[in-house]
């Protein structure tokens, strides 16, 4: 039987994961199927259990089920444990389910592919929700020099910085008190979804800064437009992170790391 994979979410119709994984499978000559499964908001666990009982080999999990998936795992990676959420599930030979979180690994892979080594870079992370939490350990493991977290609700940034303090140089600074320019500024907030900007002062953007919005789409995001207007050296959207996290999932399932550049191009073209 052909190996079966799927992404679970609600809603799921917009998911690009089937497009990406089917291209990976074609490019690496892997025989597999990958489908999108709409799980009821209150019925994720039974839908997932059915999928694995029917022989499913692995799954991706997206909004709003990443925390529920975390609770269903028999074992998990350090990234997943610290993220408190998983986006990748692997059914192991003994039938147990292992959880991974590849979102932050995909972000780091995209940054490194475009900028080279992140060693010593100063990074400002905007936001302190699930998306922010998931990328902190991978950024620290990539050797960045310093991570500063800032958030509209500053108490959440303080808490997050405290939780990761043992893993590297992590600080939290309230938005109005930010007074340095950073090498890399990452917008993990959902502000771009409503075409809004996090209230961050323009002085964090220097002429050397690379500004990264985790959002992606047909149009440039509000954050990237703002960053360009402040004179950022480069702006990037989250399309490379999306393909990068998928590549890490695919590698965990199939033992082969797919090439991502052409898949990014194909995805970008499909949005145009
Ligand atoms: P996700 O899982 O996508 O990270 P989340 O956990 O709901 O979603 O977190 C959303 C993040 O975006 C939070 O940091 C939130 O700031 P608050 O903690 O102050 O709510 C941030 N956010 C959302 N809309 C925003 C806006 N318009 N301006 C600034 N920050 C915003």
Any idea what the CATH number is for the domain that residue 143 is in? 3.40.50.720
Averaged over 213-229, what is the pLDDT?
93
For the complex shown, is ipTM > 0.90? yes
pLDDT at 186: 98
144 and 93 inside one domain:
no
Ligand-binding annotation for 87, yes or no, is yes
120 and 232 inside one domain:
yes
Question: What range does the domain containing 88 cover?
Answer: 3-101
Ligand 1 pocket mutation pick from 85, 124, 125, 129 by most atoms within 8 angstroms of CB: 129
135 and 22 inside one domain:
no
- Write out pLDDT tens, residues 91-109: 999 999 999 999 999 999 9
Total-model pTM: 0.97
Residues 6+ apart with CB under 8 A from 80: 70, 73, 86, 99, 100, 101
36 and 109 inside one domain:
no
96 and 18 inside one domain:
yes
113 and 222 inside one domain:
yes
85 and 173 inside one domain:
no
Asked if pLDDT for residue 189 goes beyond 90, the answer is yes
- Please give, one letter per residue, the 3-state secondary structure of the chain: CCEEEEEEECCCCCCCHHHHHHHHHHHCCCCEEEEEEECCCCCHHHHHHHHHHCCCCEEEECCCCHHHHHHHCCEECHHHHHHCCCCEEEECCCCCEEEECCHHHHHHHHHHHHHCCCCCCEEEEECCCHHHHHHHHHHHHCCCCEEEEECCCHHHHHHHHHHHHHHCCEEECCHHHCCCCEEEEEECCCHHHHCCCCCCCHHHEEEEEEEEECCCCCCCCHHHHHHHHCCCCEEECCHHHHHHHHHHHHHHHHCCCCCCHHHHHHHHHHHC
Counting from 1 in the atom list of ligand 1, the atom nearest the Cα of 156 is 18
pLDDT at 272: 86
Averaged over 130-147, what is the pLDDT?
97
Percentage with pLDDT > 70 across the chain = 100
Which of 52, 76, 101 is the C-terminal boundary of a domain? 101
pLDDT at 219: 84
C-alpha 5 chain-centroid distance: 19
Any idea what the CATH number is for the domain that residue 77 is in? 3.40.50.10860
Averaged over 158-185, what is the pLDDT?
97
114 and 179 inside one domain:
yes
- Model confidence at 218, pLDDT cuts 50, 70, 90, reads confident
Asked if pLDDT for residue 267 goes beyond 90, the answer is yes
Asked if pLDDT for residue 1 goes beyond 80, the answer is no
> Rounded to an integer, what distance in angstroms lies between the CA atom of residue 6 and that of residue 80?
19
- Write out pLDDT tens, residues 31-53: 999 999 999 999 999 999 999 99
Ligand-binding annotation for 60, yes or no, is no
CB atoms inside a 10 Å sphere around CB 19: 17
91 and 126 inside one domain:
no
Q: Which residue has its alpha carbon closest to ligand 1 atom 24?
A: 191
pLDDT at 192: 86
Residue 197 within a domain: yes
pLDDT at 114: 97
- Write out pLDDT tens, residues 62-83: 999 999 999 999 999 999 999 9
Averaged over 190-219, what is the pLDDT?
94
How many whole angstroms from 134 Cα to the centroid of ligand 1? 14
Give the residue among 119, 74, 123 at the shortest CA–CA distance from 100.
Answer: 74
CB 188 within 8 A of CB 135: yes
How many whole angstroms from 223 Cα to the centroid of ligand 1? 14
Which of 58, 78, 101 is the C-terminal boundary of a domain? 101
* 66: annotated active-site residue: yes
- Write out pLDDT tens, residues 238-255: 999 999 999 999 999 999
Residue 8 within a domain: yes
pLDDT at 201: 97
Selected catalytic residue, list 66, 121, 169, 248 = 66
How many whole angstroms from 50 Cα to the centroid of ligand 1? 33
Task: State the total domains in the chain.
Answer: 2
Q: Which residue has its alpha carbon closest to ligand 1 atom 27?
A: 191
Residue 269 within a domain: no
109 and 90 inside one domain:
no
Ligand-binding annotation for 16, yes or no, is yes
Q: What is the mean pLDDT of the chain?
A: 97
């Amino acid at each position: 039987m052909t190996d079966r994979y799927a992404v679970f979410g609600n809603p799921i119709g917009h998911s690009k994961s089937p497009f990406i994984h089917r291209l990976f499978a074609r490019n690496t000559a892997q025989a597999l199927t990958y489908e999108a499964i709409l799980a009821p908001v209150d019925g994720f666990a039974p839908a997932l259990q059915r999928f694995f009982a029917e022989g499913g080999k692995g799954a991706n999990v997206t909004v709003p089920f990443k925390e529920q998936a975390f609770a269903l795992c028999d074992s998990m990676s350090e990234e997943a444990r610290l993220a408190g959420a998983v986006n990748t599930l692997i059914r192991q030979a003994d039938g147990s389910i292992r959880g991974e979180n590849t979102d932050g690994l995909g972000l780091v892979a995209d940054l490194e592919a475009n900028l080279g080594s992140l060693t010593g870079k100063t990074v400002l992370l905007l936001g302190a929700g699930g998306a922010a939490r998931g990328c902190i350990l991978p950024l620290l493991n990539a050797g960045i020099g310093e991570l500063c977290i800032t958030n509209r609700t500053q108490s959440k940034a303080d808490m997050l910085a405290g939780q990761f303090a043992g893993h590297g140089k992590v600080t939290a600074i309230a938005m109005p008190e930010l007074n340095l320019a950073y090498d890399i500024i990452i917008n993990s907030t959902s502000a771009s979804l409503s075409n809004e900007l996090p209230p961050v002062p323009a002085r964090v953007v220097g002429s050397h800064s690379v500004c990264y919005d985790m959002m992606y789409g047909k149009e440039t995001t509000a954050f990237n437009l703002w960053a360009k207007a402040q004179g950022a050296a480069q702006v990037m959207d989250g399309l490379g992170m999306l393909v990068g996290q998928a590549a890490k999932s695919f590698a965990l399932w199939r033992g082969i790391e797919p090439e991502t550049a052409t898949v990014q191009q194909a995805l970008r073209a499909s949005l145009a």
